[in-house]
């Protein structure tokens, strides 16, 4: 029977001849990774449950979130992980190495057709070489370290054909933003995407990495590129084992097939707050910026930095504009030095840091302050993700040109003299918010509770539990920070009560892979979250933590009011409004979810 690219990879790692969408299988993981902020919780999970590491050679720590070790809590967690690594023979790519997902490719830990998991929500970047990569929470990674496998539900696949010729001014980042403009943050939620077409075949590894890294922002499981001879050659020269590249079968079944004329793609920017909220450059041209950031797992490769160097040579950043440049890996940093790019960057006035995730992870250069306007090559611009200011997303060329001009512009529109703006900003006051106490309820099949209505889509994990609190490992301390970064609900933890149930919109929990975004609700005694859909990693984290999440696709506002009490049947599905007697359909727990729920968690 025919299978898609992802189905074939998963089948080959599950001992099964055939897998289809909806199947749940234990998947053998070729490479299992924990980062510096998630690593401490992974070790904590292993130690508290008396678990060991099954295969240290396939197990890694990558310290890429705070490669400067400049934060005391990060430094403590990093050293905690180093000690565990020494005791268990685990390789550490320390603060001098760079972004873990890039290291996996460049150091040959993964190759076309292989599998890897990481505490990095952008582990799906491995789709760039036709490999399966998935960001997962601390429990999943601990299970993978202990068993070498994780359970996984096979997602449906989508095929996107790129027709036509990409305009020369359209970069890989623009391709990603055009896809976000077309599909938004959740219309392909939970899908595996495969890209095909002549323009796809011509894309370099660096370009593929840029596009694959933004699958998370589309809500997709992964964006997969069929490996070309160039990709196979690159991986063969670096691999630690023999491999056979995997391709979709002829006649493979896709839930949806899209044909897109890429000749109509244009350079875009993402407006602050949402990566999928894009605009043409002309619509934001002239917008004053205070800072510019070039780097992240999306645009920190050598081709990105070469494009930046060509624009910055013999130029200076605009007065008052701070330009921060962070290569993705130490290998790329050294290549920049060998090619003279670092000299160009410094002469232009840029701050160049050692390799790592930088501002995207809140642990290194790249953060901005309240009222600051930043243009960035990162993959996310959620409120609070890269600081307290506003963040526009764009290609490296647009960011470099804007840093020189002092405002958003294109390389061919850089003025002879930068414009200097004087502006007084007012700090906006914070809205009042709401929340509760720490009291866990028993694991019943039918639960009741008072509801909170949060009528919003795409509530991301930074809104739920901000990355500045990621060093917290004690669940008892987490509840007080719940929705700390969600406007209108910043005091949720003060008003919510144990036993409350949250009802919200689509794609709840999109964004990072942090387990704390689930555990903070357990800390408060929240009984369940009901949503039209959940971010893929968030859904796994909640199931693994035995925290009830319920999918309800057809809930209308007139069926339920703030403060109503409802009864939810977890095993069989169904919601009953106890005030009105109205019954509402909801999806029952899957067998896997119900089994983990009754067990009290994946690691119980």
Could you report the per-residue pLDDT of 357-398, keeping only the tens digit for each?
877 765 567 778 888 999 999 998 888 777 788 999 999 999
Q: Does domain 5-264 have CATH number 3.30.499.10?
A: yes
Specify the pLDDT at position 361: 64
Q: What's residue 441's pLDDT?
A: 47
Distances (CA, A) of 265 to 166, 195, 280, 574: 7, 16, 10, 44
Sheet holding 528-531: strands in order across? 549-551, 528-531, 501-504, 446-454, 565-569, 575-577, 583-584
Mean pLDDT of all residues in 132-146: 96
- Which among 385, 346, 347 is positioned nearest to 366, based on CA atoms? 385
The rounded distance, in Å, linking the Cα atoms of 211 and 202 is 14
**CA distances in angstroms from 53 to 28, 30, 56, 146, 411, listed in the order given:** 14, 14, 6, 5, 50
Mean pLDDT over 561-574 rounds to 94
Residue 282: pLDDT over 90: yes
What is the model's pLDDT at position 359? 73
Domain ranges of the chain: 5-264, 268-413, 446-599
d(CA 425, CA 237): 53
Residues 507 and 184: their CA atoms lie apart, in Å, by 11
Confidence (pLDDT) at 559: 85
Q: Do 268-413 and 446-599 come out as alike in CATH topology? A: no
- pLDDT, one tens digit per residue, over 266-279 is 999 999 999 999 99
Class of 268-413 per CATH?
alpha beta
- At 496-512, the pLDDT tens digits run 999 999 999 999 999 99
Assign a CATH topology to domain 446-599.
Answer: Aconitase; domain 4 (3.20.19)
Across 300-319, average pLDDT: 97
Assign residue 108 a region (left: φ > 0; alpha: ψ between -120 and 50; beta: otherwise): left
DSSP, collapsed to helix, strand or coil, labels residue 306 as helix
User: What is the average per-residue pLDDT within 205-226?
Assistant: 96
Verdict on whether the full-model pTM lies above 0.95: no
Residue 365, pLDDT score: 78
Give the pLDDT confidence of 413-431 residue by residue, as tens digits.
999 889 887 655 444 443 3
- What's the pLDDT score for residue 38? 86
Quote the CA–CA distance of 27 and 4 in Å, as a whole number.
16
| Range of lowest pLDDT (62-66, 167-171, 177-181, 246-250) | 62-66
The per-residue pLDDT of the chain, averaged, comes to 92
* Tens of pLDDT, residues 15-37: 999 999 999 999 999 999 999 87
Q: Three-class SS of residue 548?
A: coil
Cβ atoms of 495 and 487 within 8 Å: the answer is no
Output the pLDDT for position 597. Answer: 96
Distance CA 307, CA 377 (A): 13
pLDDT band at 435 (very low <50, low <70, confident <90, very high): very low
């Amino acid at each position: 029977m025919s299978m898609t690219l992802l189905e074939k990879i998963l089948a080959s790692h599950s001992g099964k001849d055939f897998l289809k969408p909806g199947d749940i299988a234990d998947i053998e993981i070729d490479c299992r990774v924990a980062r510096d902020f998630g690593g401490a919780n992974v070790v904590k999970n292993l130690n508290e449950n008396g678990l060991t590491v099954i295969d240290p050679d396939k197990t890694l720590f990558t310290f890429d979130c705070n490669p400067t070790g400049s934060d005391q809590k990060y430094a403590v967690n990093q050293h905690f992980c180093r000690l565990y690594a020494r005791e268990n023979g685990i390789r550490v790519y320390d603060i001098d190495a760079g972004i873990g997902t890039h290291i996996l490719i460049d150091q040959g830990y993964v190759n076309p057709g292989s599998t890897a998991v990481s505490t990095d929500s952008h582990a799906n970047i491995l789709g760039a070489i036709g490999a399966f990569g998935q960001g997962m929470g601390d429990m999943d990674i601990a299970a993978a370290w202990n068993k070498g496998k994780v359970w996984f539900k096979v997602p449906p696949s989508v095929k996107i054909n790129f027709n036509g010729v990409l305009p020369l001014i359209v970069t890989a980042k623009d391709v990603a933003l055009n896809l976000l403009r077309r599909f938004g943050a959740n219309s392909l939620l939970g899908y595996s995407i495969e890209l095909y077409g002549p323009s796809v075949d011509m894309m370099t590894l660096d370009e593929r990495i840029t596009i694959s890294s933004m699958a998370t922002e589309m809500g997709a499981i992964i964006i997969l590129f069929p490996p070309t001879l160039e990709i196979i050659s690159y991986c063969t020269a670096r691999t630690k084992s023999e491999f056979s590249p995997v391709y979709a079968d002829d006649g493979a079944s896709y839930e949806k097939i899209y044909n897109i004329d890429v000749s109509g793609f244009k350079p875009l920017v993402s407006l602050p707050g949402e990566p999928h909220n894009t605009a043409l450059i002309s619509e934001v041209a002239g917008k004053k910026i205070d800072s510019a950031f070039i780097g992240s797992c999306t645009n920190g490769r050598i081709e990105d930095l070469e494009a930046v160097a060509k624009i910055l040579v013999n130029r200076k950043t605009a007065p008052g504009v701070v330009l921060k440049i962070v290569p993705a890996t130490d290998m790329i940093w050294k290549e920049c030095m060998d090619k003279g790019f670092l000299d160009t960057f410094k002469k232009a006035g840029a701050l160049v840091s050692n390799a790592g995730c930088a501002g995207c992870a809140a642990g290194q250069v790249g953060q901005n302050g309240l009222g600051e306007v930043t243009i960035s090559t990162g993959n996310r611009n959620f409120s609070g993700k890269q600081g307290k200011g506003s963040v526009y997303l764009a290609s490296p060329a647009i960011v470099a040109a804007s840093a020189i001009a002092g405002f958003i512009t294109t390389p061919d529109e850089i003025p002879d003299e930068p414009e200097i703006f004087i502006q007084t900003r007012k700090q906006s006051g914070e809205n009042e918010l709401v929340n509760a106490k720490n009291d866990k309820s028993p694991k019943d099949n039918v639960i009741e509770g008072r509801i909170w209505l949060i009528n919003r889509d795409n509530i991301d994990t930074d809104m739920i539990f901000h990355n500045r609190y990621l060093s917290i490992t004690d669940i008892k301390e987490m509840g007080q920070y719940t929705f700390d970064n969600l406007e209108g609900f910043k005091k949720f933890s003060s008003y919510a009560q144990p036993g409350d149930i949250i009802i919200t919109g689509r794609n709840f929990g999109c964004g990072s892979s942090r387990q704390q975004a689930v555990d903070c609700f357990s800390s408060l005694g929240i009984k369940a979250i009901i949503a039209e859909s959940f971010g893929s990693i968030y859904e796994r984290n909640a199931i693994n933590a035995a925290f009830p999440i319920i999918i309800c696709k057809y809930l209308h506002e007139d069926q339920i009011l703030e403060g109503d009490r409802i009864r939810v049947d977890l095993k069989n599905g169904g919601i009953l409004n106890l005030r009105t007697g109205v019954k509402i359909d909801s999806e029952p727990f899957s067998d896997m979810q119900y089994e983990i729920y009754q067990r009290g968690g994946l690691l119980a």
